[in-house]
Structure 1
Amino acid sequence: MPPPTVETDEGLLVASFDGSARIKKKGGSFSAVIWKLPEWTIVAAESRYVHDLTVNEAEYNGLLLCFELLADLDRGRVILCGDSSLVIRQMRGEIDCKAPGLQLLRHKALEKLQSWPSHEFLHMKREWNQSADQLASTALQSEKGRTVVAEEDRQDLMTLNRLDELLKPKQDGQLARVTAIARSARRIRHEPEVIQEEIVQRFRIQRIAKLKMKSVGLSISRHI
């Protein structure tokens, strides 16, 4: 299924979520990041850690955390993004949900979804979900969740974001290329149009390498 498209300068919300779990310690973490378009600014970002949580349960809890963070926002269009094929397909009704524990979580998510009549689900590979993945991985490592408030920490998550490469606005009948570096470029007074693609990628790689140093040594069981 092709990713949703957005209109140029369309104001909408994008909610990305992720979940991770350890097999031996039987602990799991999950995260959610709420983005505001067209600026791709972070409205809210949070992670949590829970004992006795499977990977799929962690993914569903990440989705439920999205709805929790969305609760006080305007009920416009929202795109819900995750790298769990199982959760996305079950929420779309494409496959059955047979596990009792997941049935309860899915039911809760469907109830929350009723408050958002204009919604879409997007399944993506893990590499496109790096912002939520970083939050969940850090929570799993530290066995403690957190609410991301500091501007520097939010900028780190914005650097990891690649969703803007999937959700591309229409412009004059063609898809316009949007990159996360444009936001950072505005911050350092550069004009977005003169930034070359190789500079964009170099900047992103440097920031991602720095952030991933915090997660070295993780032993994570994941389900895609």
Structure 2
Amino acid sequence: MLDADYQGYVLSFDGAAKVSTRQRSCGGILWKLPGWQVEKTEEHILEGVTVNDAEYHGLIRGLKLALMFDAKELVVVGGSRIIVQQAQGLINCNQSNLQRRLAEYEGLRKNVVSMKLIHVKCEFNQAAGYLTSKTLVLVGSWELNVPDEIVHLRLVSRIPERS
């Protein structure tokens, strides 16, 4: 997935749902390599969207975050096969709500010189999953600024194992 000497940014994103409350959340982590340092995270609660919408929101907001850091070369990792394959142009996007999200993604994508989009099993994307789950529990956006939680993200992320 990544060369051993890769230097740059990796974005991991996720979307989540809490069935009992019908709430959704999205989140993303911008990692800086080498060293897998957490550059910044984004977490948001979402209302009135599907789970796939939440995944797209995670991708889009994460991409906006990466662009704020002027990341022109980016590796993007997500657990939603549908979203990743639609963004890669491998499968059609037929739902109008997702077509709007895909168009927004494509508009942002033009600002990145080189981007590799990779689907991974959820077990490898647990750090982004942690953000979305905690956002659902807290029922709102929050900011990751506790050193222990940053260490936790580095420990639970198995993306480096896929490299």
Normalising by structure 2, report the TM-score: 0.94
Number of residue pairs aligned between Structure 1 and Structure 2? 163
Alpha-carbon separation, structure 1, partners of 2:18 and 2:30: 25
CA displacement 1:114-151 (0-9 Å, x = unmatched)? 11121001101010000000110111122112121222
The answer to whether the 8 Å contact 2:42/2:62 transfers is: no
The answer to whether the 8 Å contact 2:77/2:117 transfers is: yes
**CA shift for structure 1 position 26:** 2.2
CA root-mean-square deviation? 1.3
Computing the radius of gyration over CA atoms, which structure comes out larger, 1 or 2?
1
User: What pairs up with 1:106-185 in 2 under 5 angstroms?
Assistant: 106-167=102-163
SS in 2 for 1:17: strand
Alpha-carbon separation, structure 2, partners of 1:128 and 1:52: 28
Which structure dedicates a bigger proportion of its chain to strand? Answer: 2
CA displacement 1:144-199 (0-9 Å, x = unmatched)? 121212222211111111111112xxxxxxxxxxxxxxxxxxxxxxxxxxxxxxxx
- In structure 1, what is the equivalent of residue 57 of structure 2? 61
The answer to whether the 8 Å contact 2:79/2:121 transfers is: yes
> Which piece of structure 1 moves more, 72-81 or 13-22?
72-81
**CA shift for structure 1 position 57:** 0.4
Alpha-carbon separation, structure 2, partners of 1:130 and 1:5: 18
- In structure 2, what is the equivalent of residue 6 of structure 1? 3
Alpha-carbon separation, structure 1, partners of 2:20 and 2:152: 30
Runs of 4+ residues over 4 Å off in structure 1: none
The answer to whether the 8 Å contact 1:17/1:63 transfers is: yes
**CA shift for structure 1 position 77:** 1.8
SS in 1 for 2:77: strand
CA displacement 1:187-215 (0-9 Å, x = unmatched)? xxxxxxxxxxxxxxxxxxxxxxxxxxxxx
User: What pairs up with 1:191-206 in 2 under 5 angstroms?
Assistant: none
Q: Does 1:89 align with 2:85?
A: yes
Normalising by structure 1, report the TM-score: 0.70
Q: Which amino acid aligns with 2:74?
A: V
The answer to whether the 8 Å contact 2:72/2:111 transfers is: no
Percent identical pairs in the alignment equals: 27
